[in-house]
């Protein structure tokens, strides 16, 4: 094998992708096959623009296969990612790309049941805010570059949370807790 990079297929018996070749894709090509073709392209180039385009393509495939609530939440995240400096006045900043990526992972790991009644809002500081309302029950999660701050008011009881790190499982736990364990 030459100096080309190799991609090992994770789902199948070990096999390596050799040098890149042209690929014809028909409308009935399954997502797994498309994903492998795109990963072949990623491993075959050092061109950052091409790598970015491949990753955007993979992201779009994932978004299209998302469930209805996830799809809406991901679409909202994409809309907020387009906000430019000054979107909410002179000192407002665009949404931090690391926060966007983090929340995208959280959404993809969530179930539709966990995302029900949550709405996503931008924060003028470049953060993202998840807001939950179900009757008298309320919750809010602010995601900053290296911190998660949250509150949950359920059945009249208020709980506050603060994490000095970004961890997807922490947010998933908060999404679940806002719904109440009896609703799971």
Domain assignment present for residue 9? The answer is: no
pTM, two decimal places: 0.63
At residue 89, the pLDDT reads: 84
At residue 45, the pLDDT reads: 67
Name the domain count of the chain: 1
Domain assignment present for residue 128? The answer is: yes
Domain assignment present for residue 13? The answer is: no
Distances (CA, A) of 113 to 140, 172, 174: 17, 11, 13
Domain of 144? 96-183
Nearest residue to 4 via CA among 46, 50, 44, 48: 44
Domain assignment present for residue 2? The answer is: no
Sheet order of strands, 147-154 included = 118-122, 128-134, 137-144, 147-154, 157-163
Residue with tokens 């018996």: 13
Domain assignment present for residue 25? The answer is: no
At residue 68, the pLDDT reads: 86
At residue 12, the pLDDT reads: 47
CATH of the domain at 114: 3.30.457
pLDDT along the chain (184 residues), means of 10: 48 47 56 64 66 61 65 92 89 92 93 92 94 94 95 94 94 93 54
């Amino acid at each position: 094998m030459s100096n080309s990079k190799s991609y090992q297929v994770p789902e199948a018996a070990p096999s390596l992708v050799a040098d890149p070749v042209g690929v014809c894709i028909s409308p009935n090509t399954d997502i797994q096959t498309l994903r492998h073709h795109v990963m072949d392209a990623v491993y075959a180039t050092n061109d950052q623009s091409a790598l970015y385009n491949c990753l955007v393509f993979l992201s779009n495939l994932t978004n299209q296969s998302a469930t209805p609530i996830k799809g809406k939440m991901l679409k909202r995240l994409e809309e907020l990612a387009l906000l430019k400096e000054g979107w909410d006045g002179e000192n407002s900043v665009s949404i931090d790309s690391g926060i966007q990526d983090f929340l995208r992972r959280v959404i993809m790991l969530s179930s539709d049941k966990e995302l029900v009644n949550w709405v996503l809002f931008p924060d003028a500081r470049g953060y993202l805010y998840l807001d939950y309302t179900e009757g008298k029950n309320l919750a809010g999660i602010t995601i900053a570059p290296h911190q998660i701050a949250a509150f949950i008011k359920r059945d009249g009881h208020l709980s506050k949370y603060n994490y000095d790190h970004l961890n997807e499982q922490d947010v998933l736990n908060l999404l679940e807790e806002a719904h109440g364990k009896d609703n799971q």
